[in-house]
Amino acid sequence: MKIVYIASGAANMYCGSCMHDNALAAGMKAAGEDVNLFPLYTPMRLDEENVGEEQIFYGGIKAYLMQKFPRPFFGRDLLLRAAGSQAIVRMLPRFDIGGAVDPAANAELTISMLKGEQGNQRELLQELVSWVKSAYQPDIVHVTNTLLIGVAREFKRSLQVPITCGLHGEDIFLEGMPQPYQAEALAIIRERAADVDRFLAISGYYGEMFSKWVGLDPSKIDVVYPGIALDDYRNLSPDTSAARPLTIGFFARLVPEKGLHLLVDAFIRLHRSGEFPNVRLLAGGYVSRAYKTYVDGIRKTIADNQLEDRVKLVGTLERADKLKFFQQIDVFSVPAPYREPKGISILEALAAGVPVVQPDHGAYPEWVNATQGGLLHRPHDSADLAEKLAVLLRDAELRQRMGRQGRAGVFEKFSSEKMASATVDVLRRLTQRSTAV
């Protein structure tokens, strides 16, 4: 089966959606499928082998300029040619462009992209579709999420193949769009859902929530759990050195919706209790200039409580360092106030044999119940989070048991191979139905 996979890059930021897309494409390739992964806007930054195509379509700068300057003027063509240069596009991961994913600042661009062949970037869409038609002639096209649903109609018209679309986290961007743009975006997605043959939701929670919010037909949605590449985790063992203090870990982007501020508050409660005099907190993750004020506030809270020697913000970690990070922690938590639909780092921690404490909302109850690898706390409640962390910190046997269960659960249910197999099943049914007509 020849599959074209349309994703989106996140420039210099490690992104859970990018990790998911790359792992899924790699898993389908390993299973023998002919997969071509096309990142739009910018290259993907990944901590594992990149299986995406080198050609970047819809170059981020060019797409933005086409929105800002939709009408011809002297020198516009030259400007757009320069902006669309592959050399320029490939330089983007070297820079902090956190503002490029600001939904308020990019509301008009998002609407235009959703309009596809009717938007200001129609030339970029035609370039992509023509390239795919001439060079690949796929059996099916998969689009990573509904923020890119604008490409579906033109692909279907030109290639006459089934189109599938993922559902895994676009709501946080859509909710950040000011009105009336948000309402218009939801209306366009609802209307263009007719161009999509099946939607693949990353969790049962998200499929139900998003379909109700937008107005999608739930009978067109399949749930395919996320998966991660597990080869590096197979022989990973925790650091059991007696000299190492009990350690809580956090690994996610340092943004409010991931909840590091709640974890720091919970840590302060644990420290003040006196029950865990040597406990420490290690927090890794991408820091954007757009959220400097948020991170500075966390640093101030740490300093005000004289915990600089106990709480360390270790920044972005490459893959080898990330694996070492998981070896050095005893309990893991990303207490996101946002109702997270996937939470890839939760699966990574569990794969490393580290039990988790997660809020009882979003997809987290699905992951914890499926793996039996942790505890759930009341969302937005740092006091309850501290209590649940304490349960695990004071009971080494419980930590080890939940760590073993969580690890086994991830290897059984959340591998990239399992994800790829379930996805291919959905795609193959569509292609077989298409050829039978």
Q: What's the fold here for domain 231-413?
A: Rossmann fold (3.40.50)
Nearest to 265 by CA among 337, 330, 194: 337
pLDDT above 80 for 130? yes
Could you write out the DSSP letters of every residue in 244-277?
SPPEEEEES-SSGGGTHHHHHHHHHHHHHHSS-T
| Annotated domain spans of the chain | 2-227+416-436, 231-413
Handedness of CA 116, 105, 10, 192 (dihedral sign): negative
The residues, ordered by sequence, that sit 6+ positions from 332 with a Cβ below 8 Å of its Cβ are 248, 249, 250, 251, 326, 345, 346, 349, 354, 355, 356, 357, 374
Half-sphere exposure of 117 (CA within 13 A, CB side): 11
Predicted local confidence at residue 89, as pLDDT: 59
Name which residue leads in pLDDT, 65 or 415: 415
Q: Which two tokens stand for residue 427?
A: 């795609």
User: Which residue type is seen at 181?
Assistant: Y
- Per-residue pLDDT tens over the stretch 87-114: 665 555 555 444 457 888 889 999 999 9
Predicted local confidence at residue 290, as pLDDT: 83
Q: Which residue has the tokens 């604008």?
A: 150
Contact between residue 192 and residue 125 where contact means Cβ atoms under 8 Å apart: no
231-413 and 2-227+416-436 share a CATH fold: yes
pLDDT above 70 for 14? no
Q: What is the pTM of this model?
A: 0.90
pLDDT above 70 for 155? yes
Contact between residue 153 and residue 117 where contact means Cβ atoms under 8 Å apart: yes
CA dist 167 and 148 (Å) reads 11
CA dist 298 and 291 (Å) reads 11
Q: Collapsing DSSP states into helix, strand and coil, what is residue 230?
A: coil
Predicted local confidence at residue 91, as pLDDT: 59
CA dist 374 and 402 (Å) reads 6
Predicted local confidence at residue 311, as pLDDT: 97
User: How would residue 215 be classed by pLDDT, with cut points 50, 70 and 90?
Assistant: very high
Predicted local confidence at residue 69, as pLDDT: 84
- Per-residue pLDDT tens over the stretch 380-437: 999 999 999 999 999 999 999 999 999 999 999 999 999 999 999 999 999 987 666 5
Assigned superfamily of 2-227+416-436: Glycogen Phosphorylase B; (3.40.50.2000)
Sheet holding 2-8, edge to edge: 34-40, 2-8, 140-143, 163-167, 198-201, 221-223
CA dist 253 and 69 (Å) reads 33
